[in-house]
Structure 1
């Protein structure tokens, strides 16, 4: 059987091309398969110019457009890094997370206190000040 792409050489492999929306297969010769594989690897992001081959080698995207342009590859990398999941399921050490959470809460409360004082809402400011004292006390015990 002849290659369906060039029609010159003997076909040796059946290929389903990624850009085919209908999922049709083509029977191709080895030369055409190599040409298509090279063209596929050299496909570049329209914004930053990063190629598919660079993305797969570096395991990093070049710009925000790469996420949508190379969606299948990026999803595959995320699944590989996250043990089959496409969302990040990270973890933090327990000792660090409690202290960090309290420090962040303290920072937010101090910002709220400053806003209440500037708006002359002293009753709310007093409530926030008491919350700051409680968080500082909790922070001393961690």
Structure 2
């Protein structure tokens, strides 16, 4: 579809206006859309920093340092390892070191929850070759946690059944690992 304004370039933006219940659709190229004032982003586009800034602003965190007072600056979160402040993190969009996440975690976690659909822990992906072995190992680990809970609750019959299941999975996992090492 060509631009309805210049009739030279391909229309990449489509707008719908509803005025007094009457709908009007217009398709424009990016150049004409900028001329008409439909686009207001900077020439270089948006950076990751702009994205993070927008996320912090949505949570009510002020990014500008103009409104901060000396008392706020002295109470501001600071990483004990690298000395980076939370304001510097917000401005740069990057942590200074590995310990910054622990230092700023309470303020960053709600944002990560929203961005990652409620997940704050990276579980990674499992390689296809070792997938079954790793999944069984994770299952054994979760069963062991459940076993501890059953023992604390004095559910010894259920704990015995789960213990046997863990032993069976460990034996199977050991055999699969040895078979994988031989190939």
TM-score range, shorter chain: 0.3 to 0.5
Q: TM-score, normalised by structure 1?
A: 0.48
Q: TM-score, normalised by structure 2?
A: 0.39
* Richer in helix (by share): 1
